[in-house]
Chains A and B, each alone.
Chain A
Amino acid sequence: MTPRSKPRIEFVALLAACALFLSTIEYLIPKPLPFMRLGLANLPLIIALGLLSWKEYLLLALLKVLGQALISGTIFSYIFLFSLAGTTASILIMLLLYNVLKKRVSLIGISIAGAMASNIAQLLLSRYLLFGEAAKLVAPPFLIVGLVTSIILGVFAQQFIAKSRWYKGVQ
């Protein structure tokens, strides 16, 4: 195989493109509340934990956030800050847990932890930028939705890495 660096960077871009694709799918799914999110775009981030070095992983997260912001046109508004804060908080906790707990945790637990971190970061931000004191009131429903969707995403990610031929090929 040719030197590793070039295909690796293309591989990161491919994963980031998957995140972008999933966020457009998420956009098409109707949601009962405007601020409610499934976080489909985080799936590549969860799956990539076992595939990338930490530097490549941070690059993937950066591309995911920038790509989403460019495609939705939110990059220069503070909606972008919410996405940045949420993703940063979740990837840091996910990287940490994945590397520290290793065999003692599956992608389900990692997904839950990531979603909680992301939700807390975004709630703190909305406390200052959007909702004021009422951020405290939206916290419980937000966290509950985050817990449920992150379990579903985690289970899916776990199934994916167990069954996917592609994953075995790139691992």
Chain B
Amino acid sequence: MSIANVRLLAGLLALPSILFQRNFLAVIIQCLYVIVVAVSYSRRFKLLPNLILLFSVSLAHLLQPNGLLLFSIGKFPITLGALTLGAHKAFTLISLLYLSHYMVTARPKFPGLLGQLISLQFYFFEQIREVWQSIKVKRPLIGAIDEMLLKISLESAKVAEHSSPRASPKELLFNAFHVVALWTLFFLGYYSILPILN
């Protein structure tokens, strides 16, 4: 099996363990785990967008009071359960996001005609980027876009073949480990072996 397919498969196998996680602490650990894996395969991690997501989703859930009243702002209650519910959803989303990042690190290919079309799309994408950078005068905008589109010839389209190398035993082992680790966290949460925070 190619590296691309191994990572794809590992990601798909691990996905339900995050999606169906009910334990708040466990999902946080899963999230950190997936981020570390994605980053170790040279995916970039930016803290701020994730923090904004975490805060906004948690804040949104405060509208529906749920659980212990921590304090009130005016008449507006800040409840623990609502905060953790929102944060849980945000952590799930972030986990899936970085799992997905990891799954495409080895550039998987779609099979058949659709796969060819996507390759073609990326070929033109590179062309557009190159031609657009070569155009000096970008005003008026429509003129510049015209110039770019007219320069790109449909006939010259060639799809660069790239094939993902076969996965080494080490690669297989690492991927299997990630899947087992994420499912272990799922069961630690499922049987409430990890403490329930809310």
Query: What is the bound-complex CA distance between A80 and B154, given in angstroms?
Result: 29
Task: Name A17's contact: one of B15, B43, B128, B145 (CB within 8 Å).
Answer: B128
Closest to A170 in B: B149
Task: Name B146's contact: one of A13, A16, A76, A166 (CB within 8 Å).
Answer: A166
Question: Are B120 and A10 in contact (CB-based, < 8 A)?
Answer: yes
Query: What is the bound-complex CA distance between A134 and B59, given in angstroms?
Result: 9
Question: Are A73 and B43 in contact (CB-based, < 8 A)?
Answer: yes
Question: Are B61 and A165 in contact (CB-based, < 8 A)?
Answer: no
Given contacts A70-B104, A137-B63, contact A17 B124 (CB under 8 A): yes
Question: Are A14 and B124 in contact (CB-based, < 8 A)?
Answer: yes
Interface residues on A, range: 35 or more
Closest to A69 in B: B100
Query: What is the bound-complex CA distance between A134 and B60, given in angstroms?
Result: 5
Q: What chain B residues lie within 8 Å of A67 (beta carbons)? A: 118, 121-122, 125
B99 within 8 A of A: yes
Query: What is the bound-complex CA distance between A75 and B124, given in angstroms?
Result: 20
Query: What is the bound-complex CA distance between A130 and B59, given in angstroms?
Result: 11
Q: What chain B residues lie within 8 Å of A20 (beta carbons)? A: 121-122, 125
Interface string of A44-83 (1 = CB under 8 A from B): 0000000000000001001100110010011111111000
B5 within 8 A of A: no
Q: Which of B23-31, B89-97, B162-170, B180-188 contacts A (4 or more CB under 8 A)?
A: B89-97
Question: Are B96 and A131 in contact (CB-based, < 8 A)?
Answer: no
Closest to B15 in A: A76
B68 within 8 A of A: no
Question: Are B145 and A75 in contact (CB-based, < 8 A)?
Answer: no
Q: What chain B residues lie within 8 Å of A62 (beta carbons)? A: 114
Closest to B150 in A: A166
Task: Name A78's contact: one of B59, B93, B120, B125 (CB within 8 Å).
Answer: B93
Question: Are B61 and A132 in contact (CB-based, < 8 A)?
Answer: yes
With a 10 A CB-CB cut-off, give which of B86, B124, B128, B132 has the most chain A CB atoms: B124
CB distance from A138 to the nearest CB of B (A): 8
Q: Which of A90-98, A103-111, A115-123, A156-164 contacts B (4 or more CB under 8 A)?
A: A156-164
Question: Are B128 and A74 in contact (CB-based, < 8 A)?
Answer: no
Within 8 A of A (CB), among B134-177: 142, 145-146, 149-150, 152, 154-155, 157
**B residues touching A (Cβ–Cβ < 8 Å)?**
11-12, 15, 43, 49, 52-53, 56-57, 59-61, 63-64, 85-86, 89, 93, 96-97, 99-101, 103-104, 110, 114, 117-118, 120-125, 127-129, 132, 142, 145-146, 149-150, 152, 154-155, 157
Residue contacts A-B, CB under 8 angstroms, 24 given: A7-B154, A14-B124, A14-B154, A16-B117, A17-B128, A35-B56, A67-B125, A73-B97, A73-B104, A76-B100, A76-B103, A77-B99, A79-B93, A130-B89, A130-B93, A131-B57, A132-B61, A132-B63, A134-B63, A135-B60, A137-B60, A166-B146, A166-B150, A169-B150
